[in-house]
Amino acid sequence: MATMAIGAGVMAGQAGSSRGARSRTETLAERNHRLFEEQRKARRGPALEVFFAKHIDNSRIVKANDPERQREMRSFTMAMSVLFLLVMVYVWQHFAAIEVGYHVEAQKVQVEQMREQNRELRLSEAQLTDPGRIDRIAKQLGLDEPQPGQVVRPDGSDANAPVLAQASTPALNAY
């Protein structure tokens, strides 16, 4: 009832004032402050509003078991577990494939390095076993061509003795 009186007083105060001029120039904060002051003047006592604190004790309430809800929750949990497991397997495979890809690329780089090193070693071998180079080095060291009878073979055969032609089976090379 007091609220209705306050509301009626506010309405009466608004009806008498010049509405058009105030609404255009007055801000929202000013309007709220003015309405609050008008309501405070219309009150009869210091405080008309009373709040009661209501204490509710739910500690003695026990939840009833619902078997259907439990079945639903178990099936939902199982479905989510299976879905999680499938996603984890997919993620594991994905990262394993990426890791294998990096490993393959590293192996390709290593193979190319070994091919280059092999090419360099073959070139070096060809340069070192060149008969002209060996002859030049031997002459620089003061060596001459061997005279007949100077060459001794490890198997004990004579280097100047005639050699019989022998047929041998060709070896298979794995190139």
**DSSP 3-state of 114:** helix
Distance CA 92, CA 86 (A): 10
**Weakest-pLDDT range from 12-16, 32-36, 58-62, 117-121:** 12-16
**Average pLDDT, rounded, for the chain:** 81
Instruction: Give me the mean pLDDT over the 39-51 stretch.
Output: 67
Q: What is the pTM of this model?
A: 0.40
- How much of the chain exceeds pLDDT 90, in percent? 40
Predicted pLDDT at 22: 53
- Tell whether the model's pLDDT for residue 136 goes beyond 60: yes
Tokens 């003047």 belong to residue = 41
